[in-house]
Structure 1
Amino acid sequence: MSGVQKSGFISKLIGPKKRWKTYKARVRELPENYGTAVGAIERCLMHYVPISEDSNASMFEDLADLFEQAAADGTPIREIVGEHPVEFVGAFAENYSEGGYVPARARKQLTDDITRAAGEDSEKEDKTA
């Protein structure tokens, strides 16, 4: 009986790990700017979403699906995440959990990374004066 318990434990560890590796391989195949955007969103989601094996794996797989399709269609990154990427992350995460709080530093990093990935320069933000 301990063999059955042990194999169940191992499959819990290996299953999600394999899904994560597959997800990361998919992200590496994206065009560079889309991969940069996914990485920024991923980092923010790590702050935002409570850890749960199945919902997290599904969430990241769906994120990869979204950006793979956008890249294939030539959809600009800003059309995916909008002008407020933190709000995008919050709305995206709500589909998988009740969410959490994104620290200010992570929000700023996400915004900066998406701006770079979208090919926008930081001077664009200063034109409001």
Structure 2
Amino acid sequence: MGIRDIIEGKKQWRAHMARVKALPPDYRIVYTEIQKYLFKVGPVTLAGDQLLPGIVDFFAEGAADGKGVVELIGTDVAAFADGLIKDAPTYADVHREATTST
């Protein structure tokens, strides 16, 4: 990864976060909680994936339709996030495999 890749990645992240900041407050709060949860759980594919931008797209559509965030995802934020990554390997899975195979 070169310096240009890093700079481009930062530009993309800033543009992504600007879209998050444009969401209504309740959507922003839920997005932040989902993001924290996903960073903690650590799906391996999150870094290069379109998961987070996809959530922002989903939330922007819901907000544009006048729906509340609870109408879209329900009351359990972690269950919603788990549903998004249910088939994706996590860093915990990778670590578990590494420790059991030795």
Q: TM-score interval w.r.t. the shorter chain?
A: 0.7 to 0.9
| Bigger helix fraction | 1
Partner of 1:49: 42
Tell me which of 27, 30, 33 is aligned to 2:26: 33
How far apart, in 2, do the equivalents of 1:42 and 1:72 lie? 21
Matches within 5 A, 1:5-20: 9-20=2-13
Q: Is the 8 A contact 2:62 2:68 kept in 1?
A: yes
Q: Is the 8 A contact 1:48 1:93 kept in 2?
A: no
- Please give the per-residue CA displacement for 1:93-123, whole angstroms capped at 9, x wherever unaligned: 346x32366xxxxxxxxxxxxxxxxxxxxxx
How far apart, in 1, do the equivalents of 2:70 and 2:7 lie? 35
How far apart, in 1, do the equivalents of 2:72 and 2:48 lie? 24
Consecutive unaligned residues in structure 1, runs of 5 or more: 1-7, 102-129
Q: Determine what percentage of the aligned residue pairs are the same residue.
A: 25
DSSP-derived class of the 2:82 partner = helix
Specify the structure having the higher radius of gyration (Cα): 1
Return the TM-score normalized by structure 1.
0.61
Consecutive unaligned residues in structure 2, runs of 5 or more: 93-102
